[in-house]
A and B are shown apart, each in its own frame.
Chain A
Amino acid sequence: MRFQGILRVLQDLPLSGYENMARDEALFLVGEVPTLRFFSWNAPTLSLGRYQRTEDLDVPFLKEKRIPVVRRPTGGRAILHGDEVTFSFFLPIPYPHRVLYSIVQEVLKKAFADVGVFVDTCVSGAPSLQSPACFSLALPHELAVSGRKVAGIAQARSSRGNLFEGSIPFSLYRSLFASCFREKERVFRELREGALGLLEVRENLGKHDLIAAMTARFGELFDGMVSGVWTEEELATTQKLLLEKYAPSSLYHYER
């Protein structure tokens, strides 16, 4: 598989969850070129799927611990972002989402192998569709070590193209993650039995090594790649989204 064009690679400094998601949505709305973006979080942040219900959340706990809650433009369930490699991948042409899942899955498999982590594809068993946590819900396109999920991925797509978001935890912080929900014991059990942080697979793995491997492997899909910067239009759209949609006080994050 090979896409036409040059892949732009963006590496952001740590940002708030609100700005991170506003930037991803800006890419989705006005991005013009294929883009691979790596980013991180300036504080542990709970992200929710675009249409995930909030009734499962323990809101008093989240407020007490000052854990920000932000919605992603993509689907799926909640992720507590912290010690992880987070990325987004924007393809400015509409693409069948299942095919794109397969392509990205292969890219990630190769990148993981490059750093000594050998993963399988999740077997489609009976995923826990009721669970509010992403890492309790393994679908066939997702990656696992010994049957335990190691990466959370989701997409949004429009007539302009596909936005792919991915979270690869190095540490899962299961207790804190589970505490974000009302059914803490159940979520903790699902996270313990169904998911792994990469440091549990390979103790000395470095994030920079994985990012370098992913960059090289995504780059193989294109005619070339370049370390790029955000365009003025993307940044202006980010600011607009931050004001109108992703503000910390916005009900958007809790609307369902």
Chain B
Amino acid sequence: MHIPEDLLYTPEHFWVRKEDGTALCGITDYAQGELGDVVFVELPKVGAKVRKGERIGDVESIKTVSNLYAPLSGEIVAVNEALREHPELLNQDPYGKGWICRIQYEDEGEWSALLDASAYRKLL
């Protein structure tokens, strides 16, 4: 199981990377493995205002619909449109081509509650 050292994580198995003043995020390698083969991703809407911990979408795998939760509060400024046609990217490349959304975060303080790789590893 791959847990990159340069990312931050939530207990709900999202990874977050600070990029150009925004937060790029997706699900972790552990999460994709636990989900199994993903057959559908319901993405959040661009422009939606979300609160940390709020449901922002769903993934379906093995006939299970699993909720996705916002890792930070802010506005969804981009989503990975490729997942609509290729949901398997979540399994194949969760930290790269399988990214889910980009959030214009509004509270710098929320970053301190995210887990580093070591803390996330201990959670599993």
A interface residues (Cβ-Cβ under 8 A, vs B): 49-51, 73-76, 96-98, 101, 129, 139, 141, 153-159
B97 within 8 A of A: no
B34 within 8 A of A: yes
Contact A74 B67 (CB under 8 A): no
Known: A51-B40, A96-B34, A155-B65. 15 other contacts (CB 8 A): A49-B65, A50-B60, A73-B65, A74-B63, A75-B40, A75-B65, A98-B34, A98-B36, A101-B62, A139-B62, A154-B63, A157-B65, A158-B66, A158-B67, A159-B12
B42 within 8 A of A: yes
**What's the nearest-Cβ distance from chain A to residue B87, in Å?**
10
B interface residues (Cβ-Cβ under 8 A, vs A): 12, 34-36, 39-40, 42, 53, 55, 58, 60-67, 69
By secondary structure, the A interface counts as: loop
Contacts of B69 in A (CB 8 A): 159
Contacts of B64 in A (CB 8 A): 74-75, 97, 154-157
By secondary structure, the B interface counts as: strand
Task: Please measure, in the bound complex, the distance between the C-alpha atom of A100 and the C-alpha atom of B69, giving whole angstroms.
Answer: 21
> Please, could you name 25 A-B residue pairs with CB atoms under 8 Å apart, sorted by A?
A50-B58, A50-B65, A51-B40, A51-B42, A51-B58, A51-B60, A74-B63, A75-B60, A75-B63, A75-B65, A76-B63, A96-B34, A97-B34, A97-B62, A98-B34, A98-B36, A139-B63, A153-B63, A155-B64, A155-B65, A156-B66, A157-B67, A158-B55, A158-B66, A159-B69
Contacts of A101 in B (CB 8 A): 62
Closest A residue to B39 by beta carbon equals A129
Contacts of A76 in B (CB 8 A): 63
Contacts of B42 in A (CB 8 A): 51
Task: Please measure, in the bound complex, the distance between the C-alpha atom of A139 and the C-alpha atom of B36, giving whole angstroms.
Answer: 12
Contact A51 B62 (CB under 8 A): no
Closest A residue to B12 by beta carbon equals A159
**What's the nearest-Cβ distance from chain A to residue B45, in Å?**
14
Task: Decide yes or no: A74 and B62 within 8 Å by CB, A51-B42, A98-B34 being known contacts.
Answer: no
Partner of B63, one of A49, A96, A159: A49
Closest A residue to B34 by beta carbon equals A96
Task: Please measure, in the bound complex, the distance between the C-alpha atom of A225 and the C-alpha atom of B63, giving whole angstroms.
Answer: 28
Task: Please measure, in the bound complex, the distance between the C-alpha atom of A50 and the C-alpha atom of B66, giving whole angstroms.
Answer: 11
**What's the nearest-Cβ distance from chain B to residue A116, in Å?**
28
Closest A residue to B68 by beta carbon equals A158
Contact A155 B63 (CB under 8 A): yes
Contacts of B35 in A (CB 8 A): 97
**What's the nearest-Cβ distance from chain B to residue A56, in Å?**
15
Contacts of A155 in B (CB 8 A): 63-65
